[in-house]
Amino acid sequence: MERTPLVAGNWKMFKTRGEAAEFCSALIALVDDLDEIDLALCPPFTALDLVAERIGDSGVGVWGQNVHDATEGAFTGEISCRMLIDAGATGVLLGHSERRALFGETDEALARKLTASLAHGLEPVLCIGESEAERDGGATESRLATQLQGALTGLTGSQVLQVTLAYEPVWAIGTGRSATPEIAQETHAFIRGAIAKSHGEECAAAIRILYGGSVKPDNAASLLAQPDVDGALVGGASLDAQGFAAIARAAIAGS
């Protein structure tokens, strides 16, 4: 089954509103001809509305970097699905490795966030991945299976089809180290096989699985050419419009 490539840029805790505006102006000129690919940006909450206003009409998705599962309430510092949508967001990033490691997010909490996001019509992007110790100890597959089961159990096949998965090996994030194309393909194939077992072959064939782990313009082409790699979740390289556009073009070339 043909899957449209998707390249998403996660800005993390970078860019003021002014810097976000400059980025959007630069990016629009670079990607206005990229009809064969889906693009998305994950700005900080303070710039969500601005990015949505500047770039939303061009078809680029605008995602929150996190969300709370409650509709509203006494949750200081949190943001709801309704608030994301009100700010112009079309999707939301869930379970990034930094959220899991630094802020204690559990698979159970992510299951609630995933259900809430789907109920509100946001496109959820679920991040999964293993640590260096788990990779070296041969526990990659069991770790990924646990994360998938914890977040997706209880969802129907049609609901899972609305989810994008992002495989991000923790040992390759912010370290300058990246999985080889062969490792990326092997792991993505395992993830697709796990989805086939839990939600059926049709769902597994259709779901998009992104690779995220030190993706840069110089390694994107080989990573994104793999048959089960459907795009990229880009961190640091997405802060530069030229670099982000180069990765997007590499995804098209590899599809």
Q: Which pLDDT score is estimated for 171? A: 86
Q: Which of 96, 105, 130, 188 is catalytic?
A: 96
**pLDDT at position 140:** 96
Give me the residue spans of the domains in the chain.
Answer: 6-89+106-208+222-249
pLDDT in tens, the chain (255 residues): 689 999 999 999 999 999 999 999 999 999 988 889 999 999 999 999 999 999 988 999 999 999 999 999 999 999 999 999 999 999 999 999 999 999 999 999 999 999 999 999 999 999 999 998 898 899 999 999 999 999 998 999 999 999 999 999 998 876 666 689 999 999 999 999 999 999 999 999 999 999 998 899 999 999 999 999 999 999 999 999 999 999 999 998 876
Residue 120 annotated among the catalytic residues of the structure: no
Q: What is the pLDDT of residue 153?
A: 87
Cα distance between residue 170 and residue 217, in whole Å: 20
Report how far residue 226's alpha carbon sits from residue 231's, in angstroms, rounded to the nearest whole number.
10
| Topology given in CATH for the domain delimited by 6-89+106-208+222-249 | TIM Barrel (3.20.20)
Active site residue: 105, 123, 134, 168, which one? 168
Active site residue 123: no
